[in-house]
Structure 1
């Protein structure tokens, strides 16, 4: 069983409690939990692509970290960003690669 998501409540609970509840309970509690239809790893890849294409870097960083937790490897993250660079923008890749390097730093080849 996946860990219960609390980011909505942690970051927006006081300001927007209904939005926070929808984020934690519906988006992550129900949609992300539908692993028979699509694995969490695949959902992470799709979400990374969507956030990358929109240039939403704070959320992208969080979902790169989540993607790593869902089994996306450093090499796969590099391939995802390389692929997306051609469809969504070269500067976005330049902005994303440092995040990949930081998040997968412990996975770097010595």
Structure 2
């Protein structure tokens, strides 16, 4: 994602909330995600864990699961991440995230 220019904020909220859209695209994705202190797999793991902990089982999580796959997280690794987080975020949340993850990783092999 470091090489990708994010436009989702502007696309979805540009006219309604231009400042929020600009911060989303340029700061969150343009600077925070681009900071090389953490590798992309670690960033994806953090985001998925936070979404799970907050119970945010939304399309945004589906997109972050796809980013995680694109960032090199394997099917085995995502299963381990979700299983580990289930003990902290809740078992029903994990079931919901597994449903999304199965869709994302279904294209594999």
TM range (shorter): over 0.9
Which blocks of at least 5 consecutive residues in structure 2 are unaligned?
none
Q: Which residue of 2 aligns with 1:48?
A: 48
Equivalences for 1:18-97 in 2 at 5 Å? 18-35=19-36, 37-58=37-58, 59-97=60-98
Matched positions, count: 107
Which blocks of at least 5 consecutive residues in structure 1 are unaligned?
none
Q: Which has the higher contact order (CA 8 A, sep 6+)?
A: 2
Given the two structures, how large is their TM-score scaled by the length of structure 2? 0.93
Compute the RMSD of aligned alpha carbons: 1.1
Superposition misfits of 4+ residues, deviation over 6 angstroms: none
Given the two structures, how large is their TM-score scaled by the length of structure 1? 0.92
